[in-house]
Structure 1
Amino acid sequence: MRKIGLLGGTFNPPHNGHLMMANEVYDALGLDEVRFMPNAIPPHKLTPDDATTADRKKMTELSINPYTHFKLEPYEIESGGISYTYETMKNLTTREPDCEFYFIIGGDMIDMLDSWYKIDELMELVKFVGVNRPHTKAETTLPVQMIAAPLIDLSSTLIRERMQADRTVTFLVPTEVEQYIREEGLYGTQ
């Protein structure tokens, strides 16, 4: 049975904190691969300078490209609409019955896990793996396997704000992602 990690998110944009978190779980659990799974965002949530679904997918591909143990999982983008992890995992486990899935979440998501859609059914489909983040409690009554990883206080919001203010994001995002953001004029860059 293959052991597959899944890291979902908007990746708006993907940053080095995402890569570090995925790599720490990959190493700690001896996974076969980690798939980055951008979710679909309804058009009414986007601001004029925001990244489109295609932009977020491309930036995710650029960020994981150098790493053979990282792959893109386009399921939620291709499905469109609001992404419910339960529906996604029901489909992925049906599509790939020979895989054991580990859903990677940060401390902020651990704190809200009890409120996830069909959480009890979801717990039967996937194992949750948690990585603490600064400023979160990372507490739940549900079974989450915690992985010790270096804490990095980095968010996509910070990256967008810095890009818009024309401040440096060196060492915060992969170089290829920064280049793409600037070339496409995302987040208010010129």
Structure 2
Amino acid sequence: MNKQTVSFHQVDALTEVLPVKNKRKKVGILGGTFNPPHIGHLIIADQVCQQLGLDKIYFMPSANPPHQDEKKAIAASHRVKMVEAAIQDNSLFDIEKSEVERGGKSYTYDTLLQLVKEHPETDYYFIIGGDMVAYLPKWYRIEELLHLVQFVGVNRPGYGLESPYPIIWVDVPSLDISSTLLRTKLETNCPVRYLIPDKTLQYISEKGLYQNADKTE
């Protein structure tokens, strides 16, 4: 039997000609109401993206989050615009509007099932705060969800790093900032510069958002 040999030069040539197959994309998802988005969201997204070597981070505004207490949120269209304004200067950031477009309660399982079907070449990393890790056993269809996504936990002061589920933990700077705090500041005309991205703050000002505590549109 004749044996064929392939030189290193031939291998290099073949590598250049043949497309790379099965190159999977790694995408992080940061969900939330983003009411409003703030620098804490951006820092978390950037730290997870860089530390895990992800290709992209998608900010995913919720239509009606099932795991949070009922609270007033301004119209989803405004929250989407605020997120778009906040992330437009970072090419690694994008927005995922599937939950807003679907409406109703936003169950992560339903969303990820849809995304995996639409993008089978992508591995998804779902980012949650350390305070949410303890609630994972109560999440809708959690056991099936674990087959669709890799959970990424970001540290929160006062919360442990233990979970019965596989979690990738990422250490991020701790900032004592929340959307609830910022809504209160905006409603009472307190300064929020550097806490909310400039372009998002400009949108809030132009639309007169959060000027009235009872305003939901």
Tell me whether the two structures share a fold, i.e. TM-score over 0.5.
yes
1:64 to 66, 74, 87: 87
Larger Rg: 2
Q: How many pairs are equivalent? A: 186
Query: Structure 2 regions of 5+ residues with no counterpart?
Result: 1-23, 213-217
- Alpha-carbon distance between aligned partners in 1 of 2:132 and 2:58, rounded to the nearest angstrom: 18
TM-score by length of 1: 0.92
Pairing of 1:39-58 with structure 2 (within 5 A): 39-41=62-64, 47=72, 50-58=73-81
Residue matched to 1:97: 120
Q: Answer with 179-188 or 116-125: which moved more.
A: 179-188
CA deviations on 1:61-96 (whole Å, 9 max, x unpaired) are 000100000001111111111000000000100000
Residue matched to 2:39: 16
Query: Structure 1 regions of 5+ residues with no counterpart?
Result: none
SS of residue in 2 equivalent to 1:179 = helix
Residue matched to 1:159: 182
- Alpha-carbon distance between aligned partners in 1 of 2:92 and 2:57, rounded to the nearest angstrom: 6
Shift of residue 138, structure 1, vs aligned partner: 4.9
Amino acid across the alignment from 1:35: Y
- Alpha-carbon distance between aligned partners in 1 of 2:76 and 2:160, rounded to the nearest angstrom: 31
Amino acid across the alignment from 1:182: S
SS of residue in 2 equivalent to 1:182 = helix
Q: Is the 8 A contact 1:114 1:140 kept in 2?
A: no
Q: Is the 8 A contact 1:111 1:138 kept in 2?
A: no
- Alpha-carbon distance between aligned partners in 2 of 1:115 and 1:182, rounded to the nearest angstrom: 38
- Alpha-carbon distance between aligned partners in 2 of 1:154 and 1:113, rounded to the nearest angstrom: 23
Compared CA separation, residues 166 and 147, structure 1 to 2 (3 A)? same
- Alpha-carbon distance between aligned partners in 1 of 2:194 and 2:157, rounded to the nearest angstrom: 18
- Alpha-carbon distance between aligned partners in 1 of 2:71 and 2:132, rounded to the nearest angstrom: 22
- Alpha-carbon distance between aligned partners in 2 of 1:13 and 1:76, rounded to the nearest angstrom: 17
SS of residue in 2 equivalent to 1:14 = coil
Q: Answer with 126-135 or 26-35: which moved more.
A: 126-135
Residue matched to 1:86: 109
Amino acid across the alignment from 2:28: G
SS of residue in 1 equivalent to 2:134 = helix
Q: What do you get for the CA RMSD once the two structures are aligned? A: 1.7
Higher helix share: 1
Residue matched to 1:28: 51
Amino acid across the alignment from 1:118: R
Matched, 1:132 2:132: no
- Alpha-carbon distance between aligned partners in 2 of 1:11 and 1:136, rounded to the nearest angstrom: 22
CA deviations on 1:84-141 (whole Å, 9 max, x unpaired) are 0000000100000000000011112112111110000000100000101234445422
